[in-house]
Amino acid sequence: MIAPLRFTRVRVKILRAGYLYVALTLTIGVAAVNTLNNLLYLIVAGLLALMAISGAVAYLALRRLDLEVELPNEWFAKRSALLVIRIHNRRRYLPTFLLRLDNSLHHTTLVEIPPRHTTEAQLLFHPETRGYVDLGVLTITSEFPFGLFRRGGIVPLGTKVLVYPTPEETAKPAGDASSDASPATAGCTSYRGFGGDYKETRTYQPGDPPARIDWKVYGRLGLLGTKEFDEETGTPLVLTLDSVPGPDTEARLRQLTALVLRAAEESRPVGLRLTREAMEPGIGAQHRERLLRMLALYQA
């Protein structure tokens, strides 16, 4: 989503060069008063005018900017993720220089954003807990034009993201992870997957592998479709909190997350039964996302 850049709090910080500049201006001003030297008065007036021009140019350089934030597809607790920040300069003539982006964990600087152009940067975000986490605020400042002051402000990102538990590798699930397969079919079960006999073509969904797109349907109807096949998969796995060892619920959720990810990589049907909700075994990107969502939002 693209939104105009609006500061909730404005920040102005005097840099080291700025302190020296102010001290020089005051020193010459005191000398001008004591000596009544017109040349010194002119120098002080020039220095003050330059400071005023600096503020005006800095204000103009921060106007008519749009902010766009691109979020990662998945977030895991205690793992760093990259946010893509794009700044769009809507001005016709004036570029923006030395734009610093800071989220308290990581900062980066955009050297130049030409008029009517977009420049992007990446910032690290490190969520500590699972569940919905607020991205917080972004501090955007600039030392342009003379490097005397850092002007800008705080922009709330206003976005909450769903953070999954940290995957914690563990041994295979304990024996009380149930199986939905009968003894007669315990070796393999027919599920929709990636190999085997062709079954049908369904509507394309984001995340489907490009290799499974039915190009004949696209050429005939102009619609994207995904081929479904029957494949032989392993015994369906149903995970519970008792399936894995752990000193507390959070440790078990981390292990269940790792098991769900491993089963998804192996295209093995996996389900989940928690205290208040359950999901039958299945495969696919959407099923995987629903399982991870259950783990992220679990409340004991």
What would the pLDDT profile of 221-264 be if each residue is shown by its tens digit?
Answer: 878 888 776 554 557 888 998 888 888 999 999 999 999 999 88
User: SS3 helix, strand, coil % of the chain, rounded to 5?
Assistant: 30, 35, 35
Q: How confident is the model at residue 173 (pLDDT cuts 50, 70, 90)?
A: low
pLDDT for 221? 82
Per-residue pLDDT of 130-162, as tens digits, reads: 999 999 899 999 999 999 999 999 999 888 999
- Per the listing, tokens 């969904």 go with 205
Which amino acid, 145? P
- Sequence-ordered list of residues with C-beta below 8 angstroms from that of 2, at least 6 positions apart, any chain: 66, 67, 68, 86, 88
Q: Can you give the residue ranges of every domain in the chain?
A: 2-163, 183-296
What share of the chain has pLDDT > 70, as a percent? 87
**Predicted confidence (pLDDT) at residue 120 exceeds the cutoff of 90:** yes
Angle at 155 between CA 296 and CA 78, to 5 degrees: 30
**Predicted confidence (pLDDT) at residue 181 exceeds the cutoff of 50:** no
97, 142 in Cβ contact below 8 A? yes
249: left (phi over 0), alpha (psi -120 to 50) or beta: alpha
d(CA 96, CA 109) in angstroms, rounded, equals 11
pLDDT for 226? 83
CA dist 179 → 39, 270, 286 (Å): 92, 9, 21
Paired with 278 in beta bridges are 273
> 2-163 is classed in which CATH architecture?
Sandwich (2.60)
- How many residues are there in the chain? 300
Per-residue pLDDT of 203-215, as tens digits, reads: 887 777 777 788 8
